[in-house]
């Protein structure tokens, strides 16, 4: 078996086609890395949004319950 290129520089330049070859490899690997990382990043964002919405819902429930307690106290204290 014979190696096609005499040295590393010839391998990297590939008779003038090296730029196109290495750029295409870089684009491919970056795209694959992006597709692998996107679900992780999106999941983190969705988790943060869910936590934010849960805190808002909890504050609303607490406000409603406080209003209900205050209303019950006011109606109990009013003279009939």
For the entire predicted model, the pTM comes to: 0.58
Per-residue confidence in pLDDT tens, the chain, 80 aa? 788 888 999 999 998 999 999 999 999 999 999 999 999 999 999 999 999 999 999 999 999 888 887 777 666 666 65
Q: CB within 8 A of 21, min separation 6: which ones?
A: 14
C-alpha count within 13 angstroms, C-beta hemisphere, residue 10 = 5
């Amino acid at each position: 078996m014979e190696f096609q290129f005499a040295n590393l520089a010839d391998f990297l330049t590939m008779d003038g086609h090296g730029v196109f070859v290495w750029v295409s490899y870089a684009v491919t690997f970056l795209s694959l890395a992006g597709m692998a990382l996107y679900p992780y990043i999106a999941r983190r964002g969705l988790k943060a949004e869910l936590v934010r919405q849960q805190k808002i819902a909890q504050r609303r429930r607490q406000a409603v319950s406080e209003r209900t307690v205050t209303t019950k106290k006011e109606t109990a204290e009013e003279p009939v």
